Amino acid sequence: MGFINALGITLAVELSVLYVLLKGRLAALHIIKWGCAASLITLPFVWFAFPFLSIGPVWPEIFAFVVEAVLYYFVFPAIGWRCAFGISLLANAASFAVGLMISSLVPGII
């Protein structure tokens, strides 16, 4: 259940950040489609691949941030690379922070 809960939290938080920052510049469906794709690509690696590497919690988050930023750069070319990396950083930091808050309030949910 942990992965499904984490996926739900990640999608809710990161899509919200993307939408707030990109609305008016890009179509809502385009933002939602690629925001979902980014999380669905990176979260399984963060949850299932990186734990086997025993490298701590920071590197999986850096991986997610960089991969999602590169994806945003290519699928949202109008925003440029700085904006793509900034949006990815904000979205990932927000979902990480919300995940920490929720897991501290409801132990075992994630």
User: Is the pLDDT score of 110 beyond 80?
Assistant: no
Total domains present in the chain: 1
Q: What is the mean pLDDT of residues 16-31?
A: 96
Q: What is the mean pLDDT of residues 5-22?
A: 97
Q: What is the DSSP string of 24-65?
A: TTB-HHHHHHHHHHHHHHHHHIIIIIGGGGT--SHHHHHHHH
Per-residue pLDDT tens over the stretch 56-106: 888 999 999 999 999 999 999 999 999 999 999 999 999 999 999 999 999
In a domain, 73, yes or no: yes
In a domain, 110, yes or no: no
Q: At 22, is the pLDDT very low, low, confident or very high (cuts 50, 70, 90)?
A: very high
pLDDT of residue 31: 97
In a domain, 82, yes or no: yes
- Domain interval for residue 65: 2-105
Q: At 1, is the pLDDT very low, low, confident or very high (cuts 50, 70, 90)?
A: low
pLDDT of residue 87: 98
- Measured between alpha carbons, how far is 88 from 1 in angstroms, rounded to an integer? 26
pTM value? 0.91
